[in-house]
């Protein structure tokens, strides 16, 4: 049963957008103006901005843990409820007979690609080792084995179902709005079932602006950690010098952001979509090759055993991990602010970006296929990634020569991957592969992120102007650069902020208003699906009643006909 299409998008949508330099000025101007003002103010007053970020980090971010934990837990159970309910059979297409645009294998492959990113390369070795060297407050760490198991449990929490449930909420709302209702690709239109025609005005503009700001700061955070690892890799290869702590200079990181953003801008302006596609395929191939290489030359049996054991441990401790706000442990709130709260904020800031991507490739899928596909496929791939890279690092600390965790239990996140590769054959080659991986992730993330932001800033136009796409790509690089600069100045002034810490704090803060938008999206999606399911059940009951009436009529008339035949036979 096809569902009637909603009212036309908006008056702005009805005007041919290519006749206008800025298709959606009520969204573009506020978002662009706020970002330009932020970049200028941050560049001119770095000490003041560093002080403000330090205060926000200590007095706001550390207090948000309970909120993010509750909201993200709700997203997980909301997603599963939709999938297992009768609404799970609703098709994300105008006609229920529409076939999916991609085969199941291709769809899974693209979901896998969506799960790969700079963060996995950066944290693949560093996060499990960080939790092993400094056991999270309240976790079991009496022995090295317990510390290692707790480290993998927490890592799986941060990169598992919870992260992808965040993407399900946004992706499903957009997919239903676009493929089922025929609306533009815009966050505001996913909220039509809740807000109605109010999305055409001020509140719809606010929603899209919040989504743009959050996405840009989320992508900027990824770019910041990407260049940090690129700089460390170049240091390991002897191309640049690292400081005494093994970290690249902040000036080098800012220079790398400028250079790689310039490469991304060339991609944007020249429109080398096929080139980006090939780069993405090459990157996926390199990532698979790297993980297979470590799996083969590393402690293979330990890695596979760790993978199976940790999946069981993750499922067994799922509820305890999900709802642990660590209120009874010293330093619990501070730890959450640096890890779990940061991750949930980071995922939320990326949700419009990834949500639009998975929505566009999911036309023709049922709600059930969408939810379970998005939740399970990337999660399993991610768990394998951390078991191979992080498991190899833990094996070296538990049974090998160690050296990845210092005497104070600290891990250098920038260099951890290269330190691990240094212990395997062909370390120079694999280190180059790792650097290339991060560079391509940087370019494709910047290009794709600016494209999605440009669609949002152009009122849902699937082919927004190239010049504005280049503007957003430049803004991503500018945000990453000025926040790294602010973090450096704050650290020099003795404030509790590092260069990457400044990026993390802003990602968490900007994700806060979008978390409210996401809750509204849950209500809107549930209302739309429940209404459609109710109409579908009513149609089914009506059809069933009609069939019964027809059967009764056939039986009655068939009986009368047979009686007349018998009567005529007796008369003869």
pLDDT tens, residue by residue, 240-287: 887 776 677 878 888 888 988 888 888 777 765 555 667 777 888 888
349-361 in b/e burial notation, b at 16+ Cβ within 10 A? bbbbbbbbbbbbb
Average pLDDT, integer, range 39-59: 85
**Helical pair 427-457 and 466-492, crossing angle rounded to 10 deg:** 120
For the cut 70, the answer to whether the pLDDT of residue 417 exceeds it is yes
Which pLDDT band holds residue 569 (cuts at 50, 70, 90)? low
Which residues, in sequence order, are CB contacts of 465 under 8 Å at separation 6+?
Answer: 18, 21, 23, 454, 458
pLDDT tens, residue by residue, 57-95: 777 888 889 999 999 999 999 999 999 999 999 999 887
For 99, the token pair is 């076939």
% of the chain surpassing 90 pLDDT: 42
* pLDDT at res. 18: 46
In sequence order, what DSSP letters do the residues of 411-464 get, joined into one string? --TTTHHHHHHTTSTTHHHHHHHHHHHHHHHHHHHHHHHHHHHHHHHTTS-SS-
């Amino acid at each position: 049963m096809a569902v009637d299409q909603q009212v036309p998008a908006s008056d702005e949508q009805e005007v041919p957008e290519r006749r206008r330099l800025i298709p959606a000025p009520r969204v573009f101007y506020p978002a662009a103006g706020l970002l330009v003002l932020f970049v200028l103010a941050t560049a001119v007053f770095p000490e003041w901005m560093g002080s403000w970020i330090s205060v926000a980090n200590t007095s706001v971010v550390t207090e948000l843990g309970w909120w993010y934990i509750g909201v993200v837990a709700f997203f997980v159970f909301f997603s599963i409820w939709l999938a297992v309910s009768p609404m799970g059979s609703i098709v994300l297409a105008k006609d229920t007979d529409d076939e999916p645009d991609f085969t199941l294998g291709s769809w899974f492959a693209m979901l896998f690609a969506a799960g790969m990113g700079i963060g996995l390369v950066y944290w693949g070795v560093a996060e499990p080792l960080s939790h092993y060297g400094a056991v999270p407050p309240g976790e079991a760490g009496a022995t090295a084995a317990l510390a290692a198991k707790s480290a993998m449990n927490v890592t799986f929490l941060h990169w598992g179902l919870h992260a992808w449930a965040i993407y399900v909420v946004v992706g499903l709302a957009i997919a239903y709005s676009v493929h089922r209702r025929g609306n533009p690709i815009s966050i505001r239109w996913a909220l039509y079932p809740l807000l109605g025609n109010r999305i055409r005005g001020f509140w719809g503009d606010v929603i899209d602006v919040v989504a743009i700001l959050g996405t840009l700061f989320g992508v900027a955070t990824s770019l910041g950690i990407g260049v940090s690892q690129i700089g460390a890799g170049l240091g390991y290869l002897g191309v640049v010098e690292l400081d005494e702590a093994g970290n690249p200079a902040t000036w080098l990181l800012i220079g790398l952001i400028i250079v790689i953003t310039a490469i991304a801008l060339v991609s944007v302006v020249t429109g080398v979509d096929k080139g980006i596609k090939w780069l993405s395929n090459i990157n996926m191939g390199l990532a698979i090759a790297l993980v297979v290489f470590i799996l083969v030359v590393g402690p293979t049996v330990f890695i596979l055993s760790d993978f199976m054991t940790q999946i069981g441990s993750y499922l067994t401790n799922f509820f305890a991990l999900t709802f642990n706000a660590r209120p009874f442990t010293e330093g619990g709130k501070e730890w959450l602010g640096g890890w779990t709260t940061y991750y949930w904020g980071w995922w939320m800031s990326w949700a419009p970006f990834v949500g639009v991507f998975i929505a566009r490739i999911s036309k023709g899928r049922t709600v059930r296929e969408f939810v379970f596909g998005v939740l399970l496929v990337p999660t399993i791939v991610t768990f394998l990634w951390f078991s191979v890279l992080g498991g190899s690092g833990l094996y070296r600390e538990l049974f090998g020569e160690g050296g990845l965790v210092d005497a104070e239990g600290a891990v250098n996140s920038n260099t951890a991957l290269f330190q691990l590769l240094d212990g395997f054959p062909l370390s120079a080659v694999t280190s180059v592969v790792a650097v290339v991986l991060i560079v391509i992730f940087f370019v494709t993330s910047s290009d794709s992120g600016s494209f999605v932001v440009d669609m949002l800033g152009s009122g849902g136009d699937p082919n927004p102007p190239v010049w504005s796409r280049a503007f957003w790509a430049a803004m991503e690089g500018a945000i990453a650069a000025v926040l790294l600069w602010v973090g450096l100045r704050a650290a020099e002034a003795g404030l509790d902020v590092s260069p990457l810490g400044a990026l993390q704090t802003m990602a968490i803060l900007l994700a806060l208003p979008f978390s409210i938008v996401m809750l509204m999206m849950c209500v809107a999606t549930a209302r739309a699906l429940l209404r459609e399911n109710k109409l579908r059940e009513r149609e089914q009951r009506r059809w069933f009643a009609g069939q019964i009436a027809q059967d009764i009529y056939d039986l009655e008339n068939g009986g009368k006909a047979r009686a007349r035949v018998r009567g005529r036979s007796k008369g003869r």
